[in-house]
Structure 1
Amino acid sequence: MKKTIIKIFIAGAVVISAASCKKFLTEESLTKLDENKVYSDIGLTETSLKGIYGSWKNIRTDEQGLITMMGTDELQQGAFQMKSDAAKGGLDRYDGNLNSLLNQLANQWNLRWPVVNEAAKIIKGVEKPNISPDSKEGHILGEAYFIRGFVDFELAMYWGEIPIRDLSRENELGVRRQPLKDVWTFIINDLTRASVLCPQTNDPGRATSGAALAMLGKAYMSAPESTGFRNFDKAREAFEKMMGRYTLVPYKDLWDYSKGNTAESILEFQFSPVYPNNNKIQFQIGSRAVQAFFGDGCYYSGYDKVVPTIHAYETVANGGVWEDGDLRRDESIRYNFTYYGETPTLDPILWEDLGNDYDELKPHIKKYEDFRTDKHTDNKINNEWNSGKNIPILRLADIKLCYAECLNELNKTGDAVAVVNEVRTRAWGGTLPNDKRWNTMSQTDFRTNIMEERIRELFAENWRRIDLIRTGKLLELVKARNKWTRQSGTIQPFNVLYPIPDSEMKLNPQITPQDQNPGYK
């Protein structure tokens, strides 16, 4: 993290310089201002905050946006990727390659800390007693709290104990890992403050009080029981305060690039099919067989970095999750690869010699496909690398399902079933058949069924690993449903957390090999 902090200082200087070029003829150089003076200028602070949003959404682009989705019961790496990169294959095999030297995990750690550190700088620079939630300063402070709380939430879910970046207590806290109870106290406090200070409405891609309340509810649901903070009633309360601000829309509208930021959207990262604001996701998740057959100008070409598990694409009758008539199935997953009347074959890629493991023409993720990149459009982009659909981070259906979980845990299973049926009614186009309506069930059965429903609703939206961790189901379900995990047979209980990167331990004297998560070397 020390190296990260240095990088952020340099990046901050660049932002300040760019923000102040119109003043470069003034006597005082803004690049030499101390941070107190920088954060006293609300315009410069706003510029810094926008830079943080840019760094944050960058985490969800290209291959790096897929890493934490690998190794679940929902998504696994494509066969050729597993064969060609044994080290990264450890993310699905959970073998000895899943270790502190794995670059892809170090990158996930390193991408998040600059976001946390910069948010912490804004908080330290802007925070003051009795700041008004209706002021520009209050809104910026609330958004910084939200970003730090959200990213710390992810870090704590993936790595457990993490450093606490409260710069007002830096001498006390340093950059060492802190006890889980302290970490979750910090996360919940940040999201609570954000829920008060963030504006109720904001520019697309920026935090609101609704987003903060949604994440506060998720934090109360997800905090490890050992911390004492897991509280489904407080989560319920947070969700109830914000759900009425949003409305479910037709499921297909969520993936229509002409209808971004729908009434269901709580927070989504803004992209477009024009570099540098493209997200490159389709380049990673499309089919290599399609690419070899039709070229990059087919909008669902790609490189099979992740593909659905059999469980995530099959019907209930065949051991999967999908029920007849569920409209989410064909919006989420591509089953048919025929392109303008021509059906691709595996012939161009048989050199890969994958035996029975070819999966390039088996079902793929569909919901991020961007037809604007296709060679048959007038955009003249002709390359799926430029895919640029918005990426949902928080949306109402997710929160409704979380809310239903809370009701079930509060012994209100009947009410929970009714909420889930609201989401399922949308999935059947507004009229839910009687045989697809959830009815009376036990609390235990609800816990099982809601995990299946979350795959149907939130497939490939980067919540699955967190869902598996918070419910204690990661080992059981991944071992049963992920092809590579099952074949390897080496997943262990300690794999619920990722290893602390070796690079962090070498650069940060306050995190040593003795601080490594148990089970890893």
Structure 2
Amino acid sequence: MKINKILSIFMVGLALFTTSCSDFLDQDPESKLPDDKIFSDVSTTNAYILGLYNSWREGHKGRVDMFLGTDEAVVGGFQHDDNERRGLDTYSEGMNSTSNRIRGIWTNRYEVISRAAPAISSLKKLQNTGNEELNKLLGEACFLRAENNWELAMLFGSIPLIDHDNLDFGGFRQPLDVVFKNIEEDLLLAEKYLPEPNEVTNAGRVSKALAQAFLGKLYLYAPESSGYRDYAKAAAHFKKIIDNGYFGGTGASNFPVIFDAYSENSAEYRKEMVYAFQYNVGWPNNCGTEWEMGSRAVANMTPDLGEAMAPWSGFDGMMPSKYCYTATGDGGLWEEGDIRKDQSIRYDFRWSKYTPNMSGYAWGDELEPHVKKYEDPRTVDTGQNTWHSGKSIPLVRFGDVILCYAECLYMTGNQGEAINLINNVIRKRAFGGTLPADKMWSTGMGKEEFIEKLMDERMRELCFEGWRKFDLLRTGLVKQYVEKRNRWLIGGTFTNSFGDTKDLGAAKTIQEYKLLWPIPLDELRQNPDLTEDDQNPGYTTN
């Protein structure tokens, strides 16, 4: 995509014609109007902002590409033949500047950013006119630009910034401190103007609490080289959400509500969900996440039903790693009695009268454990396949906020308080309301042990919700964990539960430079302010 002044002017008009068809985004498109007309009127500005939401939501359908390259998930054997998907999973040759998957994420995020920029610039000029509705829309635009810039900065490093109030940025890549300052400024405005969560009448729109969560994430996740890593500031923002009576997490006996398709947006669900991307069963509002993550063997076991099939069917695009689905006694993640395990991982693939088998499958992992969180039984209710699934995709949950806050407490000298918080809120809930004595963490553990345990706890609580890659990047643990837990990097042999063995080849290592993704080659060639020399070090331009 081309980042320049002409693009953002073009996007002003385009955004008015790209609102979603979902219930939350259904709006009649507005006519193409100049900025001063669009952004001085609540109705046209609202339609414009809804177009931003639509692009943001579309960019997070499935989210498989964002999950890969971690120790919690691996590409299924059949999908491993996809060079680009394999590249993201194993940091290999498919991770390059011509990858369509990488370019897709870059383009989608900049689509939102470039559309948000003229809205933010115009609405800032109207801040003091007393129009609360316009200020709320300014908060939404600021959040959407900030969140998309944050994702890009975490994945690509220094990036171009599109800010109509600072045209000196041009299309040049900006240093990380400048990038994070821009994100911080947007999030602070979002926090100022966004409504409290109890005032948000539509679950698809963002609240003040989400801006506070991302301010916390900004200070916790920022690379130390940016100068923005600040545990005390992060803790202060996470604490605002914890102190907000609207949240509090589900009760211990109701933990499954978080991933129950029929309970989405219920009162209990809202206690946990700071924000989730909203989808519906059936095109065009589906997300198709389960289609990516379900089992190929299950997809073909019900030919007599036509389109309808088990809600855990799909195409093995992403599966739990062995570490992520195995018990601690066998060298894996899960402690006995943790109710999150059966909410997260599918082990049994039988459905109704149907029992799948491995007959005719060339690779052999199609009935190994799969992701369960995004199964959507409503597809069965409507006689559709899982491509039509519409399960909401969590962005930030209360459990995530608690774990982030506890980490900040530990890093600012409040170790005992941090560990007690994890024991009494996260782990107590995970064990059904009563935490066994042998499962309680010691308040005397050192930093290295704490980080190791915390990273396991974050995987147990948040696996397949999109945070693992960012967690490993900010802690510097990508190589250490992924090389040890991704079967495609470990090499040797893979033996499935039926005793069939596959040769995975020699062990492989991750090259340090690939911890950042390459800038798409199209961007380097089309952006007049960049050249191929602006590529991240280590990558070639072919």
Fold agreement, TM-score > 0.5:
yes
How is 1:103-252 mapped onto 2 (pairs within 5 angstroms)? Answer: 103-128=100-125, 131=128, 135-170=132-167, 172-201=168-197, 202=200, 203-245=202-244, 246-249=247-250, 250-252=254-256
- 1:259 pairs with 2:263: yes
In 2, Cα distance between equivalents of 1:150 and 1:133: 26
In 2, Cα distance between equivalents of 1:32 and 1:88: 39
Report the CA distance between 1:17 and its aligned residue.
6.2
Tell me which of 290, 293, 302 is aligned to 1:285. 293
Q: 1:242 to 1:93 in 2, by over 3 A?
A: closer
Preserved CA contact (<8 Å) 1:134 1:197: no
The equivalent of 1:428 in structure 2 is 431
Indicate the SS of the match to 1:322: coil
In 1, Cα distance between equivalents of 2:341 and 2:326: 10
In 2, Cα distance between equivalents of 1:14 and 1:147: 17
In 2, Cα distance between equivalents of 1:18 and 1:342: 42
In 2, Cα distance between equivalents of 1:408 and 1:290: 45
Report the CA distance between 1:359 and its aligned residue.
1.1
Report the CA distance between 1:511 and its aligned residue.
2.0
Q: 1:6 to 1:276 in 2, by over 3 A?
A: farther
The equivalent of 2:69 in structure 1 is 71
The equivalent of 2:44 in structure 1 is 44
Indicate the SS of the match to 1:95: coil
Deviation string for 1:166-216 (max 9, x for gaps)? 11112x110110011101111111112211111113221211111101100
In 1, Cα distance between equivalents of 2:175 and 2:124: 25
Deviation string for 1:15-58 (max 9, x for gaps)? 54699xxxxxxxxx974532222111221110111111111011
Residue identity opposite 1:496 in structure 2: L
Preserved CA contact (<8 Å) 1:223 1:230: yes
Preserved CA contact (<8 Å) 1:332 1:459: yes
In 2, Cα distance between equivalents of 1:304 and 1:129: 50
Residue identity opposite 2:393 in structure 1: I
Report the CA distance between 1:343 and its aligned residue.
2.2
Deviation string for 1:254-284 (max 9, x for gaps)? 0112222321111111111122111011111
Preserved CA contact (<8 Å) 1:156 1:183: yes
The equivalent of 1:58 in structure 2 is 58
How is 1:351-430 mapped onto 2 (pairs within 5 angstroms)? Answer: 352=362, 354=363, 358-374=364-380, 377=381, 379=382, 381-421=383-423, 422-430=425-433
In 2, Cα distance between equivalents of 1:17 and 1:341: 47
How is 1:468-479 mapped onto 2 (pairs within 5 angstroms)? Answer: 468-479=472-483
Report the CA distance between 1:329 and its aligned residue.
0.3
In 1, Cα distance between equivalents of 2:450 and 2:129: 43
Q: 1:32 to 1:303 in 2, by over 3 A?
A: closer
Indicate the SS of the match to 1:470: helix
How is 1:331-370 mapped onto 2 (pairs within 5 angstroms)? Answer: 331-349=343-361, 352=362, 354=363, 358-370=364-376
Indicate the SS of the match to 2:237: helix
The equivalent of 2:315 in structure 1 is 303
Deviation string for 1:271-319 (max 9, x for gaps)? 1112211101111111001112225522111000000000111000111
More deviation, 498-507/86-95 = 86-95
Number of aligned residue pairs: 498
Q: 1:315 to 1:39 in 2, by over 3 A?
A: same
RMSD (CA atoms): 2.0
In 1, Cα distance between equivalents of 2:48 and 2:122: 12
Indicate the SS of the match to 1:392: strand
How is 1:67-106 mapped onto 2 (pairs within 5 angstroms)? Answer: 67-83=65-81, 85-106=82-103
- 1:325 pairs with 2:337: yes
Report the CA distance between 1:486 and its aligned residue.
2.7
The equivalent of 1:485 in structure 2 is 489
Q: 1:302 to 1:489 in 2, by over 3 A?
A: same
In 1, Cα distance between equivalents of 2:418 and 2:54: 37
Provide TM-score, normalisation by structure 1.
0.92
Preserved CA contact (<8 Å) 1:272 1:387: yes
Indicate the SS of the match to 2:352: coil
Residue identity (%):
38
- The structure carrying a bigger helix percent of its residues is 1
In 2, Cα distance between equivalents of 1:520 and 1:18: 35
In 2, Cα distance between equivalents of 1:131 and 1:330: 52
Report the CA distance between 1:7 and its aligned residue.
7.0
Report the CA distance between 1:12 and its aligned residue.
4.5
- The gaps in structure 1 that reach 5 residues or longer are 20-28
The equivalent of 1:22 in structure 2 is none
Report the CA distance between 1:72 and its aligned residue.
0.7
Provide TM-score, normalisation by structure 2.
0.88
Q: 1:40 to 1:133 in 2, by over 3 A?
A: closer
Preserved CA contact (<8 Å) 2:98 2:521: yes
In 1, Cα distance between equivalents of 2:328 and 2:18: 55
Q: 1:5 to 1:481 in 2, by over 3 A?
A: farther
In 1, Cα distance between equivalents of 2:131 and 2:193: 8
Q: 1:42 to 1:467 in 2, by over 3 A?
A: same
Residue identity opposite 1:178 in structure 2: Q
Report the CA distance between 1:132 and its aligned residue.
7.4
Q: 1:174 to 1:4 in 2, by over 3 A?
A: closer
More deviation, 32-41/272-281 = 32-41
In 2, Cα distance between equivalents of 1:67 and 1:12: 29
Residue identity opposite 1:430 in structure 2: G
In 1, Cα distance between equivalents of 2:3 and 2:181: 26
Q: 1:150 to 1:30 in 2, by over 3 A?
A: closer
Report the CA distance between 1:13 and its aligned residue.
2.9
Indicate the SS of the match to 1:60: coil
Indicate the SS of the match to 1:131: helix
In 2, Cα distance between equivalents of 1:9 and 1:312: 46
Indicate the SS of the match to 1:348: coil
The equivalent of 1:23 in structure 2 is none
In 2, Cα distance between equivalents of 1:385 and 1:6: 37
Preserved CA contact (<8 Å) 1:411 1:443: no
